Structure 1
Amino acid sequence: MLRNYIKVAFRNLRRNKLYASLNILGLSIGLGSFFIIYLFLQNELAYDQFHEKKDRIYRLVQTFESDFGVEKEANMSYAFSPEFVESIPGIEAFSRVIQKPVPFSFNEDSEGESGIGALIVDPEFLDFFTIDYIYGTNETVLEAPNSVLISESTAVRFYGTSDALGQVINYNKANYVVDGVFRDLPSSSSIKGDVIMLNEIIHARYGQGSWSWNVGAQCYLLLDENAIISDLKEKLTQHYTSNNEWAKGKKLTLQPISDVHYSLDVKDEVNEKTDRQYVSIFAFVAIFILASSIFNYISLSVSQSIERAKEIGVRKVAGASSRELRKQFIIESLLHVLISFVLSMILVELLIPQLEVLVERNLGISVLAQPMLLLQGIMFASLIALVCSFYPTYLSTKLKVVQVFKNGKGIFSSQRLIGAIGIFQIMVFVVLICVSVTANRQMRFMRNENLGFDKDHQLVLENMPWRTREVHKNELLKLPGVLSVSSGSQLPNDVGSSVSIEGQDYDFSFFEIDDDYFQTLGVRLLEGRDFLPEDVDSANLVMINATAAHKLGYDENTAVGKTLSPSSSWRIIGVVSDFHFASKKELIKPVIFKQVIEGSPSNQFLVKLDGANWAVSTKRVLDYYNDIPNLREPSYFFFEDRIESQYKQENVMITMLNTFTVIAALVAFIGLFGIAGYSVKRRLKEMGIRKVLGAGFLSIQKTLNVSSVWKLLIAVAIAVPVVVYWMDNWLSSFAYRIEMPVFLIFGAIAVASIVIFITVSIHSIKAYLINPVEILKDE
């Protein structure tokens, strides 16, 4: 009997090639997209979940109020140490974690490898972070003062084997012995490194450290099982403020390790972060795509059921039971979904590598290499098959044989369901178009509009010899196509220094620049003058931005000639316009500019090129740059690319959103095509009678399109509030944002209208061309 069901299923596939292809195509695209988003989100949500004690691991975060809102920072002073917190009850273990590249030498012949990521930690680090050892255990490693752990990939890379115990590596003229090898930390770890070494050895010269010295240390705590978080935060803050004169107005809070990956508002050394909003957005997109695919299948199956009414009637007359009919529909559904699942797995395997390139990290996902994941996919696809077959099966069991042979339809009255599916498809179509276009316009605004400086055709040369800075600067200016050259320690997107001003509750960002800095970047001078090479008292001269002038209680016109504070010797000689030296997700902050002094190790050059011949000019500059004797690690980039990197995460998410919006639109189009086909088939007899009575082409098109217009209006009424709420909520996370474009909603509606008109017209034109005799011959 099963063999017969399968035969009939394949026969129906061959008989209805168009609808079968649409069913399989829609399901395969929907399942493939759903699986890709699911696997991506699974990877995102798995961050730091592999630690056995993850529920008790917290990170210290320092918060304070400023004119720019609540500031959060996880890079703590070096004075935070195990000894500092040992008197506070509720803390079982404490470790500072410093992540940075270290130039190790792994054998006598090799020079320092600058790309090796190191984790510099305190001994208790091993007590609460889960490390998977190949050689060694928590009890045997890092016992000796000069011992280190290395990852398996590092051991294989430099020693050809994972058994690297006893090997000696060198850093800063000191030798360290490998006494443990661990498996590479998972890609879903916020803490990454290939070498683990002790903090007390690397920074021994600093003792317990100074509150003013910050090495970018993140402080992690393992709490007792009975610890009360609120009490612990209060005790930590009290202990912190009573021992640190710089901590006035600051508070300490505890962040679960599971939240570190999503803490975009916290300044730290964690490179891989994701906005939780994007997790929610992609979860909704995945559900939309899957739901659209399922509804497509149901609508297409019901549409086909009209043509199969007589087949079902004959089966019932021949003695087929409702149970047998259910089996037939379920097997057909399983066959469609099985083919779709196979195609979707091929799609996933092809697109996952592209996704890894896009997000620039190894997701460690391969469905075919993970049997359990593949089994879960098969089980999920089988569930989808049952869901897809439920409604057509229900209709077939309720079909009345007498009505089948009387009018050929039975009781396939499913207008309300099909209408609801059509409204859902149109709503998804409109929502995703609006979301995608709004997100793209916001990103374009952030990258290009009103940055306050000129980012185009700016070439940055790193590691320039600072002792001969002026010589190289003059030589570069002689090259054709070089408009201006500036040397300094900071670019607008790379500000790490700050200074405190007496009487101010907020630190000012600090730039060291030369006298050509503003000219090269095209920053406007609002009042006063720029730095001059002949300034004899340059150590006491500063320039500020407009925000800093307002913060100090001046305006642009009155700030010049004033000092930064009554006791400060720094005198303001000029005020420049505000520019975005950080992401537009953050407000512009006050900045102090100071002239780079002679002998300062500022080794970064900013070269402004002629835009007309920038390629030729770039080659001239790089030829000169690469010929500089004893140049350490040549490195250069275009400033525009670095600005783009500020929005790397947003760019990745927007690219993914665009891709899946196109996919969702395609799935919705397939669904609308099927629904339009069903609607036209249901009214074929009516159209035949109208045509016999003399109705013209336009009259028939109008009749068939009225219901589609109503569906469009209902879908728009639902979609518009969703779009406005959803996108306004997302845009509110940016300090500088676009307004919700009203024209966008009308544009999305226009696009949806055109798509609906095309899909309905394809079927209605086909119906109009059918001879009425063919439609009415059974009457």
Structure 2
Amino acid sequence: MLRNYIKVAFRNLRRNKLYASLNIIGLSIGLGSFFIIYLFLQNELAYDQFHEKKDRIYRVVAIAESDFGVEKQASMSHAFSQKFIEGIPGIEAFSKVDRNSAVFNFHEVTENGTPTETLIVDRDFLNFFTIHFMYGNTKSVFKSPNSMLISESMALKQYGTTDVLGKTVGYYKDSYIITGLFHDLPKSSSIKADVIVLNEKMNARHEVGAWGVRMNNLQAYMLLNENTEVADVENKLTELYLEKNKYGKGSELSLQSISDVHYSLDVKDEVKEKTDRQYVSIFAFVAIFILASSIFNYISLSVSQSIERAKEIGVRKVAGASSRELRKQFIIESLLHVLISFVLSMILVELLIPQLEALVERDLGISVLAQPILLLQGIMFALFIALLCSFYPTYLSTKLKVVQVFKNGKGVFSSQRLIGAIGIFQIVVFVVLICVSVTANRQMRFMRNENLGFDKDQLLVLEHMPYQNRVEPKNELLKIPGVKSISSGGQLPNDVVPTMSFKEFDFDFSFFEIDEDYVQTMGMTLLGGRTFLPEDADSARLVLINTTAAHKIGYDEITAVGKMLGSGSSAYKIIGVVSDFHFASKKELIAPVVFRPITIGFSGQFIVKLDGANWASTTKEVLEYYNIIPDVYRPSYFFFEDRIDAQYRQENVMITMLNTFTVIAALVAFIGLFGIAGYSVKRRLKEMGIRKVLGAGFMSIQKTLNVSSVWKLLIAVAIAVPVVVYWMDNWLSSFAYRIEMPVFLIFGAIAVASIVIFITVSIHSIKAYLINPVEILKDE
């Protein structure tokens, strides 16, 4: 009997090639897209979940409030130590974690060493972070200060074997002994490294640190005892912090669960792989939309085809087929369609995962075919979808009355409520996703193209320049044709900017140390006064400020020049005002800025402004000279524009993914609308035949068939518009500088949806109009 069911299923597949193809293509695209998004989100949600004590591991975050919002920093001072937290109850273990790129000599013959991702930690680190050892254990690997732990992949890379215990590794004038070999840390870890060493050795000179000096790479983690109240520990930490740190006024310390580190975009730290929680929610909704659209498409197309098969079902019932046998037939056909779709979707997933990894610029470690459990889960899910898809057509077949079938060829298939709801849902998805995608793209275009307050183009940054004798290299570079200007030092706008405070003001100033050519080279606008000059006598007491700072201290761009900032030994004379510029992401408001003359030896970089007309040849000449400058430590360079673009890399990645899946969802919705339109036209074929016999023309029939579609569109728009306005306005509010919600966009999306609906309905209605009424009415 099963063989007969399968044979009939394949026969129906061949007989209805168009609808079967639409069913399979729509379902395979939907399943493939759903699986890709699911695997991506599974990877995102797995970050830092492998730690056995993850529910008790917290990171210390300093929070400072000002008129410009809340600033959160995970960077800590070395003064934040085991000794500092000793008196706080509830802390089971503590470790500073300094993520750095240390240069090790793994072989004595190596002259230059190998830059290696390194974690510099305290001894308690292994007591709460989960590290799986191949050789060694948590109690013995840190038996001496010069112990080193090395990853499996680094051992194989450097030595070609994992038998590395006891080997000596050089670090400048020091040496370390490999005492432990650990399996590579999971890709879904916020803390990544190939080498782990102790603070007490590598950072020995910093261990008695000053509170006012923050180390950007340094984070503090702690393990709380079970049943310890986090708020109690936070209060005690803040109390001690304010007592010990005279620079901590207005700040408080908070504990952030390690599970939240991957999503903490508002915290300044050295964690490179982060994701906005909003995008996780957005993609979850998109995945559900696509899957639901695919399932509804299948149901609507199946019901549409059931009209054609009403007489077949009637004959089967007359011949003695039971409702159970009819259910089996429909389920077998559904299983066949879904299994074909599943195979195609797996091929789609395997082809697109490498593209996704290239887009997000990290190895997700995902391969369905290489993970049997994941593949089995996919098959089980596909079987569930098959049963779900076959439920409604099966239900209708069992309710079919034989007398009605042979009387009018329909039975109960004329029920329109579910099909109408599916059509409305498809239009809602179509309109919402178009609006979301276009709004997100407009916001990102605005953020990239709006005036930054400086010129980011054609800026070549030369790193690791010698601190002394910089005049000669600068003069030689200026002789190269196409070099317009050079700043021989100063932070770049996207660097982590330190802050300074004055007792007269209840807010902090971000400060930059720059040379006399910085403003010109960066293309900033000097609104009043002048910049620094080499001949300034007391340059250490001169400052420039930005427009926001001038307004905050009670002046404008002109009247601020010549005034004093601060008092007593902390007084500075304002000699110029620079226009505001975005030195952080446009998600953040512009803060007050103070520019001070650069300290000798402070900056190790040259900022070279190139002529845009011949930048390629100029760059080549600049780099040829740069590579022969004596005392350049590890030549390295980059174009500043690339760094600016990197600020919005995550948003760009997510927008690209959103655009892709929006197109897919629109395609799936189009397939569904096509099937629904076909169903609606087929159930009215006899009506159209009668109208045509009575003299109805082409436009009259088109109007009649399109009325219901217009009503569906109006209902869908009434649902979609509030969703779009609420959802996108909520997302845009996370940006300090944002576009207004484009009202015309909603009308544009409605217009596009109207055109799509008109095209899908017209395809079927024109086909119906061209059918000879005799063919439609001959059974009557």
TM above 0.5, one fold? yes
Q: Which residue of 2 aligns with 1:620?
A: 621
**C-alpha contact 2:414 2:683 (8 A) present in aligned 1:** no
518-527 vs 498-507, which moves further: 498-507
Asked whether 1:348 is paired with 2:349, we answer yes
- 1:59-100 residue CA offsets vs partner (Å, 9 max, x unmatched): 111112111122211111211111111111111111111111
Write the mapping of 1:370-449 to structure 2, written as runs, cut at 5 A.
370-449=371-450
Q: Which residue of 2 aligns with 1:80?
A: 80
**C-alpha contact 2:147 2:176 (8 A) present in aligned 1:** yes
Return the offset for 1:630.
5.3
Return the offset for 1:209.
2.2
Asked whether 1:579 is paired with 2:587, we answer no
- 1:185-219 residue CA offsets vs partner (Å, 9 max, x unmatched): 10111111111111111122234322123223211
**C-alpha contact 1:484 1:520 (8 A) present in aligned 2:** yes
- 1:220-253 residue CA offsets vs partner (Å, 9 max, x unmatched): 1111112112222112221222222222222111
Check 1:648–1:434 CA distance in 2 against 1; reply closer, same or farther (3 A cut).
same
Check 1:202–1:505 CA distance in 2 against 1; reply closer, same or farther (3 A cut).
farther
**C-alpha contact 1:36 1:348 (8 A) present in aligned 2:** yes
Cα distance in 2, alignment partners of residues 269 and 460 from structure 1: 21
User: Pick from 590, 593, 596: which aligns with 1:591?
Assistant: 593
Cα distance in 2, alignment partners of residues 359 and 115 from structure 1: 24
**C-alpha contact 1:101 1:114 (8 A) present in aligned 2:** no
Write the mapping of 1:103-502 to structure 2, written as runs, cut at 5 A.
103-113=103-113, 115-216=115-216, 217-502=218-503
| AA of the residue aligned to 1:595 | P
Return the offset for 1:333.
0.4
Q: Which residue of 1 aligns with 2:28?
A: 28
| AA of the residue aligned to 1:92 | E
Check 1:233–1:631 CA distance in 2 against 1; reply closer, same or farther (3 A cut).
closer
Return the offset for 1:41.
0.6
445-454 vs 715-724, which moves further: 445-454
| AA of the residue aligned to 1:330 | I
Check 1:207–1:298 CA distance in 2 against 1; reply closer, same or farther (3 A cut).
closer
Return the offset for 1:709.
1.1
Matched length: 778
| AA of the residue aligned to 2:683 | R
Cα distance in 1, alignment partners of residues 207 and 622 from structure 2: 46
Check 1:476–1:412 CA distance in 2 against 1; reply closer, same or farther (3 A cut).
same
| AA of the residue aligned to 1:483 | K
- 1:89-145 residue CA offsets vs partner (Å, 9 max, x unmatched): 111111111111111111111234453111111100110000000000011111111
Write the mapping of 1:562-577 to structure 2, written as runs, cut at 5 A.
562-567=563-568, 568-577=570-579
Q: Secondary structure at the match of 2:272?
A: coil
Return the offset for 1:329.
0.4
Return the offset for 1:506.
3.4
**C-alpha contact 2:490 2:518 (8 A) present in aligned 1:** no
- 1:598-630 residue CA offsets vs partner (Å, 9 max, x unmatched): x43523222222223333333333333334455
Cα distance in 2, alignment partners of residues 769 and 476 from structure 1: 77
**C-alpha contact 2:458 2:611 (8 A) present in aligned 1:** yes
| AA of the residue aligned to 1:118 | T
**C-alpha contact 2:301 2:675 (8 A) present in aligned 1:** yes
**C-alpha contact 2:105 2:114 (8 A) present in aligned 1:** no
| AA of the residue aligned to 2:415 | S
| AA of the residue aligned to 1:748 | A
**C-alpha contact 1:459 1:638 (8 A) present in aligned 2:** yes
Cα distance in 1, alignment partners of residues 473 and 765 from structure 2: 74
Return the offset for 1:638.
1.9
Structure 2 unaligned regions, length at least 5: none
Return the offset for 1:582.
0.6
Cα distance in 2, alignment partners of residues 172 and 68 from structure 1: 44
Cα distance in 2, alignment partners of residues 615 and 239 from structure 1: 55
Instruction: Supply the RMSD in Å over aligned alpha carbons.
Output: 1.5
**C-alpha contact 2:141 2:179 (8 A) present in aligned 1:** yes
Cα distance in 2, alignment partners of residues 659 and 320 from structure 1: 46
Return the offset for 1:771.
1.2
**C-alpha contact 1:105 1:113 (8 A) present in aligned 2:** yes
258-267 vs 633-642, which moves further: 633-642
Cα distance in 1, alignment partners of residues 208 and 441 from structure 2: 49
Q: Which residue of 2 aligns with 1:542?
A: 543
| AA of the residue aligned to 1:355 | L
| AA of the residue aligned to 2:514 | I
Cα distance in 1, alignment partners of residues 675 and 291 from structure 2: 16
Return the offset for 1:284.
0.3
| AA of the residue aligned to 1:556 | E
- 1:137-176 residue CA offsets vs partner (Å, 9 max, x unmatched): 0111111111010111111110111121011111131000
Q: Secondary structure at the match of 2:412?
A: coil
Q: Which residue of 2 aligns with 1:634?
A: 635
**C-alpha contact 2:587 2:736 (8 A) present in aligned 1:** yes
**C-alpha contact 2:105 2:111 (8 A) present in aligned 1:** yes
**C-alpha contact 1:495 1:581 (8 A) present in aligned 2:** no
Check 1:65–1:491 CA distance in 2 against 1; reply closer, same or farther (3 A cut).
same
Cα distance in 1, alignment partners of residues 249 and 309 from structure 2: 79
**C-alpha contact 2:490 2:515 (8 A) present in aligned 1:** no
Q: Secondary structure at the match of 1:485?
A: strand
**C-alpha contact 1:261 1:272 (8 A) present in aligned 2:** yes
Cα distance in 2, alignment partners of residues 628 and 416 from structure 1: 78
**C-alpha contact 1:102 1:113 (8 A) present in aligned 2:** no
| AA of the residue aligned to 2:277 | R
Return the offset for 1:45.
0.7
Cα distance in 2, alignment partners of residues 85 and 101 from structure 1: 28
**C-alpha contact 1:495 1:509 (8 A) present in aligned 2:** no
Cα distance in 2, alignment partners of residues 298 and 306 from structure 1: 13
Cα distance in 1, alignment partners of residues 157 and 434 from structure 2: 47
Q: Which residue of 1 aligns with 2:97?
A: 97
Return the offset for 1:549.
1.7
Q: Secondary structure at the match of 1:453?
A: coil
Asked whether 1:561 is paired with 2:562, we answer yes
Q: Which residue of 2 aligns with 1:40?
A: 40
Cα distance in 1, alignment partners of residues 589 and 301 from structure 2: 52
TM-score by length of 1: 0.98
Q: Secondary structure at the match of 1:77?
A: coil
Q: Secondary structure at the match of 1:467?
A: coil
| AA of the residue aligned to 1:674 | G
**C-alpha contact 2:428 2:720 (8 A) present in aligned 1:** yes
331-340 vs 109-118, which moves further: 109-118
Check 1:187–1:627 CA distance in 2 against 1; reply closer, same or farther (3 A cut).
same
Cα distance in 1, alignment partners of residues 52 and 449 from structure 2: 45
**C-alpha contact 1:495 1:510 (8 A) present in aligned 2:** no
521-530 vs 731-740, which moves further: 521-530
Cα distance in 1, alignment partners of residues 756 and 315 from structure 2: 38
**C-alpha contact 1:103 1:114 (8 A) present in aligned 2:** yes
Check 1:79–1:683 CA distance in 2 against 1; reply closer, same or farther (3 A cut).
same
127-136 vs 701-710, which moves further: 701-710
Cα distance in 1, alignment partners of residues 112 and 499 from structure 2: 31
Cα distance in 2, alignment partners of residues 594 and 404 from structure 1: 89
Cα distance in 2, alignment partners of residues 545 and 756 from structure 1: 54
Q: Which residue of 1 aligns with 2:59?
A: 59
| AA of the residue aligned to 2:181 | V
Check 1:708–1:113 CA distance in 2 against 1; reply closer, same or farther (3 A cut).
farther
Q: Which residue of 1 aligns with 2:737?
A: 736
Check 1:442–1:418 CA distance in 2 against 1; reply closer, same or farther (3 A cut).
same
Return the offset for 1:408.
1.0
**C-alpha contact 2:29 2:664 (8 A) present in aligned 1:** yes
Q: Which residue of 2 aligns with 1:711?
A: 712
Q: Secondary structure at the match of 1:76?
A: coil
**C-alpha contact 2:78 2:207 (8 A) present in aligned 1:** no
